[in-house]
Structure 1
Amino acid sequence: MENCPEQPPLFTFGVIADIQYADLDDGYNFTRTRRRYYRSSLQLLRNARESWLESAVKPEFILQLGDIIDGFNKGHDASDRALDTVLAEFSSGPAEVHHVWGNHEFYNFSRSALLRSRLNSTLHIDRTVNAAPADRDIYAYSFSPFPGFTFVILDGYDVSLLGREESSPLYKDSLSLIRQHNSNEDLNCPVFEGLEQRFTMFNGGYSKVQLDWLESVLTSADENKEKVTIVSHLPVHPRSTTPICLAWNYDELLSIIRSHLCVVCFMAGHDHDGGYHKDKDTGVHHLTLKGVIETPPDSNAFGTVSVYEDRMELRGSGRVKDRVFLFPSRLQDTDQRAT
């Protein structure tokens, strides 16, 4: 008897993080303990693009999880040139790209410039989005690639010292917050005390305005019995990353996620080593994708995710492992409602 053919996915999408391209020789991280492959990161992006182009099922979209070019570009007056180079690779790919903003975006560009740029995906995709309040310069939105599924892109540097004018109240509030936890003269140096390490200048957080907007998106998704994947540059579960890469107010965002039935997965970058944790209380999967920038030229760091009614399957390449994300069983109970 012939085997039944494998069930095709509802849709697929690609994921890649921390490309940090620069036309520079290899270097090292801040502590000079980790090699960074600035120039060859472009070839690894090409490898990902070619894989997605050759897939039997083409991705519906690509998630670029932030830090698309390296901050060193700014000092070489190469920010625009480097961004053009990387975006040219994406533009010849198979699908629209949803760009997330990380700290290196703000090392290269102001927030106002980013909002006008090709890294503001809401300006350049042929898809209806639900954006955060227009009266604030928050880069957050949601979209639905397939009936019953919603993706939410969050702005992890809405509350931050990066991308804000030093004279602005938002900058001053962020400085006051970080100074409560970090007394170092150089705010990029962490205080090495457990989760307090997250209060550095290269991290940020989520404002009440953004969190309230997220609440409204998730409440609607609960009512419509949708499955939601949240995406941000900064991880929000302490067991999915090293503490030095956590969002400042990760606990507030985790609390919101845990109060809604619809969330199935949270995807992030920032931590180049990557990480994974399944929240035991909710069954939500927290994936931190390994970074391209610290991936040797003879390897890879990207993935393709196939989405089914009951799960997502990540097929990784190189440093990115294969994983299966079963959707929480609580989603099958149609009598449950979010509290």
Structure 2
Amino acid sequence: MLDAPISNVTVASSLPLASTDHGETMKPIVSFGLVSDIQYADKDDHLNYSKTRLRRYRNALKLLDEACDYWIEHKHDISFVLQLGDLIDGASAADNKSQIALNTILAPFSKLPSSCRVYHIWGNHELYNFPRTELLTGPLCSFDTKEIFPGHYGTFQVCPGLRVIALDTFEFSVLGVDKTDEVYIRAKEFLKKRNPNIHGNDYDGLYGDQRRFVEFNGGVTSKQLDWLQEQLTQATKLHEKVIVIGESHWTHL
């Protein structure tokens, strides 16, 4: 969640500056915006689950608005924005305000120039608020998914020599799908074999990388991994550098 002053939030990234033979600084090859874990909700400030951090739900909207203003006023035009997941908080689903919250937090992006596209990827909080099938037909769907339904992943060329690959790290998950869905059943069985706790989000007794086997996490299918390998192989042939993005969780090991 964005809960720091805008001066402390990374809101724009650029490829390294090039230099002329005379040492003069040239403009970046490309500039783009980057934002993650906004987790907006129309709720009062509240401590997180572990009571260690104050979550400022409404302030997230203010900070995103400031970020968009920064991108608009940036010295170099921003070509696109990467929104790395958890745009709205799961608390909105509990209040039956998912769509209202989504419309509210998307509004600041509308200030950006029409040439500046926003690419969204999904985290667990998107899937707390909406079923996957609904996300695939809504404003958070950023890729052509006809051939990979119900997955949501894709790639685009930023400029010659640079490509972004976006992954769907919750393609294999109990989130965002009906409990009768085959994916839900297989994911549930997968987790039960690796996490004996009664509550699916409890990682007590799990150590090291085994702590990732919780219901708020997800994974990718072999189909997506094959696609990723194809994209990386093609990028290598074309001598492209690649930025790979995806929403994931870590726990204290």
Q: TM (normalized to structure 1)?
A: 0.65
Output aligned runs, 1:1-339, within 5 Å: 4-94=23-113, 95-122=116-143, 134-191=147-204, 192-234=206-248, 241-243=250-252
Structure 1 position 146, deviation (Å): 0.6
- Structure 1 residue identity aligned to 2:177: R
Structure 1 position 147, deviation (Å): 1.2
Distance 1:139 1:243, change over 3 A: farther
- Structure 1 residue identity aligned to 2:65: R
Q: In 2, are the aligned partners of 1:11 and 1:60 still within 8 Å (CA)? A: yes
Distance 1:132 1:150, change over 3 A: farther
**What are the superposed Cα offsets for residues 179-223 of structure 1, whole Å, 9 maximum, x if unpaired?**
122111111111341211111111000100100111111111111
Number of equivalences: 229
Runs of 5+ unmatched residues, structure 1: 123-130, 236-240, 245-339
> Take 1:21 and 1:98, find their aligned partners in 2: how far apart are those partners?
18
Q: In 2, are the aligned partners of 1:154 and 1:231 still within 8 Å (CA)? A: yes
- Structure 1 residue identity aligned to 2:207: E
**What are the superposed Cα offsets for residues 280-315 of structure 1, whole Å, 9 maximum, x if unpaired?**
xxxxxxxxxxxxxxxxxxxxxxxxxxxxxxxxxxxx
Structure 1 position 242, deviation (Å): 3.8
- Structure 2 residue identity aligned to 1:108: N
Q: What is the DSSP-based 3-state SS (H/G/I as helix, E as strand, rest coil) of the residue aligned with 1:121?
A: coil
- Structure 2 residue identity aligned to 1:67: D
Q: In 1, are the aligned partners of 2:211 and 2:251 still within 8 Å (CA)? A: no
> Take 2:145 and 2:99, find their aligned partners in 1: how far apart are those partners?
27
Structure 1 position 135, deviation (Å): 4.8
> Take 1:205 and 1:135, find their aligned partners in 2: how far apart are those partners?
15
State the match for 2:19 in structure 1. none
Q: In 2, are the aligned partners of 1:132 and 1:213 still within 8 Å (CA)? A: no
> Take 1:32 and 1:14, find their aligned partners in 2: how far apart are those partners?
31
- Structure 2 residue identity aligned to 1:211: L
State the match for 2:5 in structure 1. none
Structure 1 position 132, deviation (Å): 6.2
Q: What is the DSSP-based 3-state SS (H/G/I as helix, E as strand, rest coil) of the residue aligned with 2:194?
A: coil
> Take 2:232 and 2:145, find their aligned partners in 1: how far apart are those partners?
13
- Structure 2 residue identity aligned to 1:52: W
- Runs of 4+ aligned structure 1 residues displaced above 4 Å come to none
- Structure 1 residue identity aligned to 2:26: Q
- Structure 2 residue identity aligned to 1:112: T
Q: TM (normalized to structure 2)?
A: 0.86
State the match for 1:315 in structure 2. none
Runs of 5+ unmatched residues, structure 2: 1-21
Q: In 2, are the aligned partners of 1:157 and 1:205 still within 8 Å (CA)? A: yes
Distance 1:104 1:203, change over 3 A: same
> What CA RMSD, in Å, does the superposition of the two structures yield over aligned residues?
1.6
> Take 1:101 and 1:193, find their aligned partners in 2: how far apart are those partners?
27
Q: In 2, are the aligned partners of 1:198 and 1:243 still within 8 Å (CA)? A: no
> Take 2:25 and 2:174, find their aligned partners in 1: how far apart are those partners?
49
State the match for 1:250 in structure 2. none
- Structure 2 residue identity aligned to 1:71: G
Structure 1 position 163, deviation (Å): 1.1
Structure 1 position 105, deviation (Å): 0.2
Q: In 2, are the aligned partners of 1:154 and 1:232 still within 8 Å (CA)? A: yes
